[in-house]
Amino acid sequence: MSLVPKAILFAARHHQYQLRKGTRVPYMAHLMNVCRILVEKDCRDEIVAAGILHDVVEDTPVTIQEVESEFGPVVAELVRGATELDKLEKKAIEKEATWKARKKQTIHFLEHEASLDQLRVSAADKLDNLRNIYDDQKRIGKKVWERFSAPRNKQNWYFGEIARIIQLKGKTDLVLAELGKDLKKLHRRVF
């Protein structure tokens, strides 16, 4: 079986009972949207597979070692880049107390350490997240912010930093340039 269908089946098995925060939408919808964004940008199969698997370590009992065993070191490294460090190490965390620290760590990684391919996966993930927030905000208004562990102003800061980094890195990569432009535009609409 080729990499992308294998990733879809693997993700579906491990995310099967999960829903998007505060909705009845199966979590797989997000993963398939990320897949679509990456496919539409003509990303190679390893990047698309990592996009599908980007939350499997954060949100399920699956370890990064299992991802590597199933999908190889390239996909595992891309998933590692999309996974918060404490979740990568499967540490218990106190969400409220550490939200900003975790997001600062993500921002630092994306700005200073991430490969172009890791940035593509993260950009596609954040773009779909912003699209969902935008659509839900139009539908239910400010209630959308009640779903999240951090308030609107902190989300504004976080997504703004992600958009800035993707645009900056997009100066040397056409795919990131396009994703960065879309992120910046949507960030303005949402916030």
Read off the CATH number of the domain in which 161 is found: 1.10.3210.10
| Burial (CB count <10 Å: 0-12, 13-18, 19+), residue 112 | exposed
Any idea which residue has 């905000």 for tokens?
137
Nearest residue to 98 via CA among 88, 86, 110: 86
Cα 169 to Cα 163: distance, rounded to the nearest angstrom: 10
The pLDDT score that the predictor gives to residue 68 is: 98
The pLDDT score that the predictor gives to residue 96 is: 46
The pLDDT score that the predictor gives to residue 91 is: 54
Count of domains observed in the chain = 1
The pLDDT score that the predictor gives to residue 90 is: 58
Cα 166 to Cα 185: distance, rounded to the nearest angstrom: 12
Cα 39 to Cα 59: distance, rounded to the nearest angstrom: 23
The pLDDT score that the predictor gives to residue 84 is: 85
The pLDDT score that the predictor gives to residue 98 is: 82
Q: What is the domain range of residue 152?
A: 3-190
Cα 53 to Cα 89: distance, rounded to the nearest angstrom: 17
Judge contact between 25 and 19, C-beta under 8 A. Answer: yes
**Which residues are annotated as catalytic?**
58-59
Tens of pLDDT, residue by residue, the chain (191 residues): 799 999 999 999 999 999 999 899 999 999 999 999 999 999 999 999 999 999 999 999 999 999 999 999 999 999 999 998 767 775 555 444 588 988 999 999 999 999 999 999 999 999 999 999 999 999 999 999 999 989 999 999 999 999 999 999 999 999 999 999 999 999 999 99
CA distances from 18 to 53, 100, 119 (A): 14, 24, 25
- Measured in degrees and rounded to the nearest 5, phi and psi for residue 148 equal -100, 155
Judge contact between 15 and 31, C-beta under 8 A. Answer: yes
Single pTM value for the model: 0.94
